Amino acid sequence: MTEPREWSLGAGALTHAPGGAGFRCQIAGEELFYRTDGPPSAPRHADALLAALLLPAMRLGALLRFEPTLAISPRLLDGMARLQEIFAAWYPDLHRTTIAASPAAAQASAPGAGSFFSAGVDSCDTLLRHQSEITHLILIRGVDLTLGNESGWQESLDAVQAVAAAYGKTLITVETNARFFARRLAGLSWLPYQGSGLVSVGLLTGLGRIFIPSSNHYSALHPLGTHPLTDPLWSTEYTSFVHDGAAVRRYQKLRGLAAHPLLLDHLRVCWQDAGYNCGRCDKCLHLRVALRLLGMNTPRMPPLSDLSELRTIAVHTVGEYAEWEDNLILAREVGDSKIERAVRRPLDRFLLRRAARDLDQALIGGRLRRFFRGRR
């Protein structure tokens, strides 16, 4: 039987950035780094490192051993068992592992409240509903935009700086390779990893409370890296995390932006690294449909004038289904039968494929699916 691998972590393995908030280290031959202009008020490097490494360790069966010089928040350690239970139940390739660490001395909650802010619909909604509480906006380089996209980063930074100034918030920028580190090290995509990746950033900001804008409505929750079940479990005595906005559908959030033209003018939803918004990908098309149904527009996105574009809608995952179902509900609400039919067709096809797969699994153990896979 193969012995489990062990990742032994001590303060000597971390190289700290000037000011103390950022760090870099080597894990199993892969470098992980964070650079931030956030306040250097007692950042929790050990807690951030645990958040970044938990899912890769679960994926690879690695024991995490933190030397006493890297003590972990007692509250975060308490959350580890439940987090591992949930992620192992959601993702069959993640398995519970052992975390050997000393509990850190108790710390009081830090001042200030932040929110991750990409200028998307969810983050704009969180800013509006909690603007009296939020003191900082957190913009990450290396998630929506790859680290090498200089022009895209500058355009995004300019937009978020304008929003932060208009709403009287302090902007914290963080540059990290955490998203692609998890992919290279453990083959983890951003979908299961995004909660832990965001939390690892948040723990370096020195803020006492951080909002994580929701991706899904409560009626459409499914396994995802950021989720109302898991996000609060990453909290420490110093920094607590709040999953925000799941009670509101995305088109309702978008409708609320009509009274806030600055946010609408800087709206960004695209992950394609092809301009501020590429206008063609699934996320962009989803927004363009919603804008048309609501009679709204933004200079950051071409209007949807030709419904033949809706023939390109492809629904392959539960997450994509939830997003397009949101537009289906809106189309019914405003009485647009053409868009309703165009959106319903790919949703129905997705449901039929799922039903066929479930029937195949229930009756013949998935043999039909494996047969067709073998013929590709």
The model's pLDDT over 314-350, given as tens digits with 9 standing for 90+, comes to 999 999 999 999 999 999 999 999 999 999 999 999 9
Residues 6+ apart with CB under 8 A from 161: 171
* Helices assigned H by DSSP within the chain: 45-60, 74-90, 121-129, 150-166, 178-186, 190-202, 250-256, 261-265, 282-294, 318-334, 337-364, 367-374
CA-to-CA distance for 91 and 87, rounded, in angstroms?
6
Q: What is the DSSP letter of 103?
A: B
pLDDT tier at 368 (50, 70, 90 boundaries)? low
Residues in the chain: 376
**Mean pLDDT in residue range 111-126:** 96
Mean pLDDT value of segment 251-268: 97
Q: For residue 342, give the nearest of 276, 288, 268 by alpha carbon.
A: 288
Give the per-residue pLDDT at 145: 80
Helix axes 337-364 and 318-334, enclosed angle (nearest 10): 150
Q: Which tokens hold the place of 134?
A: 């939020």
pLDDT for res 39: 62
Residue-wise pLDDT for 274-314, tens only, equals 889 999 999 999 999 999 999 999 999 999 999 999 999 99
pLDDT given at position 211:
98
Q: How far apart, in whole angstroms, are the C-alpha atoms of residue 211 and residue 116? A: 7
Distance of CA 100 to the CA centre of its chain: 27
Show Cβ contacts of residue 94 under 8 Å, excluding neighbours closer than 6 positions. Answer: 55, 58, 59, 87, 88, 192
Say what the pLDDT of residue 360 is. 60
Q: Residue 4: which pLDDT band, with cuts at 50, 70 and 90?
A: low
pLDDT of 121 reads: 97
The whole-number pLDDT of residue 259 equals: 96
Q: Are 243 and 116 in contact (CB under 8 A)?
A: no
Q: Both tokens of residue 230?
A: 């898991």
Q: Is residue 41 predicted with pLDDT exceeding 80?
A: no
* More confident position, 154 or 371: 154
| Percent of the chain scoring above 90 in pLDDT | 77
| Helical spans, DSSP H, in 203-310 | 250-256, 261-265, 282-294
Measured at the CA of 300, the angle between CA 211 and CA 164, to 5 degrees, comes to 40
Tell me the average pLDDT of the chain: 91
**pLDDT value at position 1?**
37
Answer for the pair 219, 210: CB distance below 8 angstroms, yes or no. no
pLDDT at 162: 98
Q: Find how far residue 309's CA is from the centre of its chain.
A: 28
Phi, psi of 118 (to 5 degrees): -110, 0
**pLDDT band at 109; cut points 50, 70, 90:** confident
In terms of DSSP bridges, do strands 113-116 and 136-141 run parallel, antiparallel, or are they unpaired?
Answer: parallel
CA nearest neighbour of 230 among 91, 40, 376, 42 = 91
Gap between the Cα atoms of 95 and 61, Å rounded: 7
134: closest CA among 118, 111, 151? 111
Q: How many other CB atoms sit within 10 Å of the CB of residue 273?
A: 12
Q: What is the pLDDT of residues 184-234, one digit of tens each?
A: 999 999 999 999 999 999 999 889 999 999 999 999 999 999 999 999 999
Task: Please count the CA atoms within 13 angstroms of the CA of 126 that sit on its side-chain side.
Answer: 27
pLDDT band for position 105 (50/70/90)?
A: confident
pLDDT at 356: 79
Comparison of pLDDT for 3 and 355, the residue scoring more: 355
Joined together, the tokens standing for residue 243 give 């999953």
pLDDT digits (tens, 9 = 90+) for 61-102: 999 999 998 999 999 999 999 999 999 999 999 999 999 999
